[in-house]
């Protein structure tokens, strides 16, 4: 198998999920640092416009979104599993909670906080403006101030789910081993401690088990990480051929034939039309072939959940 190349930046909480999966599975991977805000000239040739973080590259196959990246890694490296309790369906389904209301609440708290640069994070100066635009389908940053108490109440109710799981003294949410449920749930404290420390203190100080659990997760480490220059990753894509196409899933309800031009876009935030030829679907994913002057032929894979797929 070609090397695992993760396009990310260190402050990205969604990327931390995948870095910790590398840690749980003790994998060796290449790290390509991409900018935290647009423009992303070394990412877009691979993805066709998708700008979110992280993206996993394996040769000329490009996997977008942590839902799909997790499934790819779990399939290729089943042990140790990210479902130590033997409940993969529940683990994946929890992503719809985490990536929706749970994450959006914390991001809105951060964007609405008085000093959204209070944390010791290394971010470009246009980061805030970039995120204001990116999150506009979920909330209007300029009118968040009066909503902060309500958002804090929402966050506390979500946090209580974590407390309920940890209440019996277990090390991780589903038992003594870490798994995807932990990675979904840790997003918000991991993010808020870095980006909005005062909000984090307010939310988590009274629950010592949260900080202890977070420390156990961070201690897993990232596996073996080796840096790679962005141009080298683009060269690897150009030199490689995508995996053979799988064709359309026999039960696929979309009714789109292989070879049809489609556009795929996130349907929640950071919408963008990634256009290509449909080469395959599975019950949970869609794959499109693109031709790019810098990287040649690449296949970009997306999960179906959270993405719109339309004929163009």
Ligand X SMILES: N[C@@H](CCC(=O)N[C@@H](CS)C(=O)NCC(=O)O)C(=O)O
Of residues 296 and 306, the one with the C-beta less far from ligand X:
306
253: Cβ contacts below 8 Å, ≥ 6 apart: none
Of residues 13 and 91, the one with the C-beta less far from ligand X:
13
21 touches 45 (CB < 8 A):
no
- The end-to-end CA distance of the chain, in Å, is 33
Catalog residues that contact ligand X under the rule CB under 6 A: 12-15, 36, 51-53, 65-67, 99, 134, 306
**Least distance (Å) from ligand X to the CB of residue 284?**
13
Of residues 65 and 182, the one with the C-beta less far from ligand X:
65
Give the start-end residues of each E strand in the chain: 5-8, 28-33, 55-58, 61-64, 224-227, 261-266, 274-281, 285-292, 296-303, 307-311
**Least distance (Å) from ligand X to the CB of residue 24?**
17
128: Cβ contacts below 8 Å, ≥ 6 apart: 111, 116, 117
Q: Rounded to whole angstroms, how far apart are CA atoms 237 and 59?
A: 5
**Least distance (Å) from ligand X to the CB of residue 167?**
28
Helix (H, G, I), strand (E, B) or coil at 175: strand
Of residues 201 and 267, the one with the C-beta less far from ligand X:
267
Give the pair of three-digit tokens for residue 143: 């009118």
Of residues 10 and 140, the one with the C-beta less far from ligand X:
10
In the bound complex, which residue of the shown chain has the CB atom lying closest to ligand X?
A: 52
**Least distance (Å) from ligand X to the CB of residue 194?**
11
**Least distance (Å) from ligand X to the CB of residue 269?**
7
Of residues 57 and 166, the one with the C-beta less far from ligand X:
57
**Closest by alpha carbon to 286, among 267, 133, 296?**
267
299: Cβ contacts below 8 Å, ≥ 6 apart: 60, 61, 62, 242, 243, 245, 279, 287, 288, 289, 290
**Least distance (Å) from ligand X to the CB of residue 69?**
7
**Least distance (Å) from ligand X to the CB of residue 137?**
12
Of residues 66 and 174, the one with the C-beta less far from ligand X:
66
142: Cβ contacts below 8 Å, ≥ 6 apart: none
């Amino acid at each position: 198998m070609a090397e695992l190349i993760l396009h990310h930046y260190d402050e990205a909480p969604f990327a931390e999920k995948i870095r910790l999966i590398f840690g749980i599975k003790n994998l060796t991977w290449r790290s390509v640092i991409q900018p935290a805000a647009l423009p992303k000239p070394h990412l877009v040739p691979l993805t066709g416009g998708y700008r979110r973080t992280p993206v996993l590259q394996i040769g000329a196959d490009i996997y977008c979104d942590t839902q799909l990246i997790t499934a790819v890694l779990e399939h290729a490296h089943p042990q140790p599993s990210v479902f130590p309790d033997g409940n993969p369906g529940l683990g994946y389904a929890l992503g719809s909670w985490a990536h929706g209301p749970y994450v959006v609440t914390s991001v809105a708290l951060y964007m609405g906080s008085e000093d959204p640069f209070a944390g010791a994070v290394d971010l470009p100066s246009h980061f805030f403006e970039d995120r204001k635009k990116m999150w506009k389908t979920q909330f209007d940053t300029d009118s968040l101030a009066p909503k902060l108490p309500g958002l804090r109440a929402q966050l506390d109710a979500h946090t209580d789910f974590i407390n309920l799981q940890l209440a019996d003294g277990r090390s991780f949410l589903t038992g003594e081993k870490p798994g995807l449920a932990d990675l979904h749930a840790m997003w918000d404290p991991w993010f808020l401690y870095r980006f909005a420390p005062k909000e984090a203190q307010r939310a988590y100080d009274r629950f010592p088990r949260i900080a202890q659990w977070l420390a156990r997760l961070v201690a897993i480490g990232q596996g073996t990480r080796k840096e790679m220059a962005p141009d080298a990753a683009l060269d690897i894509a150009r030199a490689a051929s995508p995996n053979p196409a799988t064709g359309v899933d026999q039960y696929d309800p979309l009714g789109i034939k292989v070879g049809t031009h489609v556009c795929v876009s996130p349907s929640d935030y950071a919408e963008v039309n990634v256009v290509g030829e449909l080469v395959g679907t599975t019950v949970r994913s869609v794959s499109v072939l693109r031709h790019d002057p810098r990287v040649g032929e690449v296949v970009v894979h997306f999960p179906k959940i959270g993405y719109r797929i339309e004929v163009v």
